[in-house]
Chains A and B, each alone.
Chain A
Amino acid sequence: EAGVAQSPRYKIIEKRQSVAFWCNPISGHATLYWYQQILGQGPKLLIQFQNNGVVDDSQLPKDRFSAERLKGVDSTLKIQPAKLEDSAVYLCASSLSPTPGELFFGEGSRLTVL
């Protein structure tokens, strides 16, 4: 079974530039999550999708972050304009459903904002 795919693995940008991350979840997984993991901290949920609908985006900084999951499969997370404090690993995870169970994470996309 293929795992959660993410790209790019690494991205370095200047502040005020934009960046986009892509995630392809495990086939059949209806629930998709984007997490932000700052060095030395636990993952912080940015947004949760159920199929192509948003379940929760209360912690997404909507003035600069946006995410979509068209067709209920792949998802993109965009940051525009980036700030220094956005430097982090952006983890995508998927699960069969939003009931208690394992989250399957991708390798993550490491963003460095200079």
Chain B
Amino acid sequence: GENVEQHPSTLSVQEGDSAVIKCTYSDSASNYFPWYKQELGKRPQLIIDIRSNVGEKKDQRIAVTLNKTAKHFSLHITETQPEDSAVYFCAASINSNYQLIWGAGTKLIIKP
């Protein structure tokens, strides 16, 4: 069945540096790719999403890139800040109801 792999599982970066999280998906029909941020003990919240007709999308310090041919997409966070510390989940849509298959998550640690 459909699978989403996410790497790395843990990422530690110095404050101010950039962070990149990568996901690959298996279903070539997937056409919607959101990223959610989940702080410890809190609910997941959407931070950015991209649809398959777009190769890149940016929102301030956050950007997402999509390579449909290779079936992978990445989250880029620039100028990282302490409040960026959280678990980040990627997801890919399947079927006409846009149900999501989620990656296992990346724990991002920002070192002061």
Bound Cα distance A114, B99 (Å): 32
Given A56-B97, A99-B98, check contact A42 B45 (CB 8 Å): no
B3 to chain A, nearest CB (A): 11
Interface residues on B, range: 20 to 34
Given A100-B49, A105-B43, A105-B44, check contact A48 B102 (CB 8 Å): no
B50 to chain A, nearest CB (A): 10
Interface residues on A, range: 20 to 34
Tell which of B42, B45, B51, B105 touches A100, judged by Cβ atoms closer than 8 Å.
Answer: B51
Chain B residue with the shortest CB-CB distance to A107: B43
The answer to whether A98 touches B43, judged by C-beta atoms less than 8 angstroms apart, is: no
Query: What's the dominant secondary structure at chain A's contact region?
Result: loop
Instruction: For B4, list chain A residues within 8 Å (CB).
Output: 42
Query: What's the dominant secondary structure at chain B's contact region?
Result: strand
A40 to chain B, nearest CB (A): 7
The answer to whether B43 touches A42, judged by C-beta atoms less than 8 angstroms apart, is: no
Bound Cα distance A42, B31 (Å): 19
Bound Cα distance A55, B104 (Å): 24
Tell which of A42, A45, A102 touches B99, judged by Cβ atoms closer than 8 Å.
Answer: A45
The answer to whether A43 touches B89, judged by C-beta atoms less than 8 angstroms apart, is: yes
B46 touches A (CB below 8 Å): yes
B interface residues with partner A (beta carbon < 8 Å): 4, 6, 31-32, 34, 42-46, 49, 51, 89, 91, 93, 97-100, 102-105
Beyond A91-B44, A103-B34, list 13 extra A-B contacts (CB 8 Å): A40-B105, A41-B105, A42-B4, A42-B89, A43-B44, A45-B99, A45-B100, A48-B97, A56-B99, A100-B31, A100-B32, A103-B44, A105-B44
